[in-house]
Amino acid sequence: MSAGVRTYLELMRYKNCLLAGFAAVIGTLIAFNILASDAHSLHPPGNFPVSDAGLVFLVVFLVSGAGNAINDYFDIKIDSINRPERPIPSGRVKLKEAFYFSYLLFALGTALAFSINPVCGSIALFNSLLLIFYAKTLKGTPLLGNLSIGYLTGSTFLFGASVFGFEGLKTLFVLFVLSALAITAREIVKDIEDMEGDKTEGADTLPLRIGARKASYLAVLIGFLALFLSPLPYLMSVLGLRYLYLVLLADLGFLAAIHQILVCNNPAKSSKMLKIAMFFALLAFIAGV
């Protein structure tokens, strides 16, 4: 792999893209199993749609990478302070190159999504536009920007389920809600972590608007809500008993993250703990299928 390819993969934050694509395929698998076993399903699927699942993975990988690239394009000044090692502030990728690269990924991802079905294409198009709007405008809007990222990340499960149309969307709505809440909490914590660079640049984030402590309380409240609702997929018969066992590990991770932000006043450690907790939540989703 050439140095140029590695740099563009770094710009996409390809590891996060791989995880997002994998989560979307998990959404397809869960929706398939639920619809296949539901006697009241209007359109029960036949065999698992392997080719569509592969396209789902590719679409989410491309659109997520495009979103990360366009975000870095608009965040060049802030990243020069907070993350100078990234491809654009380090000078390894020019601004114009990053801009065109991101739009190419958006176009490819959306076109592939429409090749699956109109529901997939509509979600991919909406999310692509929202990612651009977020990077340009919403990121500087307190709370609304955090909620946007929560939706975008949680919607990976919905996108995977949309292979089966609107019926698939209904089956995975609860997983979308849990994911969106967890991600929103982490985004607020990350804003607390980045306060120094954001303040220097004059950004208008929630912690800068209401203070780090109040922002921490809101992040904890949202995190507790996700924790409280975490048994719902089992109680609603969406996922099995193995999900319930494994999601307890994710809940412990959330509690550790809450301790780090409230008691230890360590947003960086809290953010890492939240990321670990969400990884265990993803494992719980897989095990519960």
Q: What is the pLDDT of residues 244-254, one digit of tens each?
A: 889 998 999 98
CATH T-level fold of 1-171: Tetracycline Repressor; domain 2 (1.10.357)
Helix 14-37 × helix 173-193 angle, to 10° = 160
How high is the mean pLDDT of the chain? 88
Answer yes or no: CATH 1.20.120.1780 is held by domain 173-289: yes
Residue-wise pLDDT for 203-232, tens only, equals: 778 898 898 899 999 999 998 999 999 999
Q: What is the pTM of this model?
A: 0.83
SS (H, E, C) 34-67: HHHHCCCCCCCCCCCCHHHHHHHHHHHHHHHHHH
Q: What percent of the chain has pLDDT over 70?
A: 96
Q: Which pLDDT score is estimated for 43?
A: 62
- Given this chain, do its domains 1-171 and 173-289 carry the same CATH topology? no
Domain boundaries, the chain: 1-171, 173-289
Which helix (H) or strand (E) is 203 found in, with range?
A: none
pLDDT at 3 over 70: no
Contact 21, 98 (CB under 8 A): no
Q: Which pLDDT score is estimated for 238?
A: 79
Q: Which pLDDT score is estimated for 85?
A: 83
pLDDT-wise least confident of 99-103, 107-111, 163-167: 163-167
Angle at 172 between CA 170 and CA 173, to 5 degrees: 65
Name the DSSP letter for residue 2.
-
**Angstrom distances, CA of residue 76 to CA of 89, 96, 149:** 6, 12, 19
Residue-wise pLDDT for 180-191, tens only, equals: 999 999 999 988
Residue-wise pLDDT for 124-182, tens only, equals: 999 999 999 999 888 778 889 899 989 998 899 899 999 998 888 888 888 899 989 99
Q: Which pLDDT score is estimated for 174?
A: 87
Which residue in the block uniquely carries the two structure tokens 């390894």?
92
pLDDT at 33 over 60: yes
Residue-wise pLDDT for 260-280, tens only, equals: 888 888 888 888 888 888 888
| Per-residue pLDDT band at 38 (split at 50, 70, 90) | low
Contact 191, 146 (CB under 8 A): yes
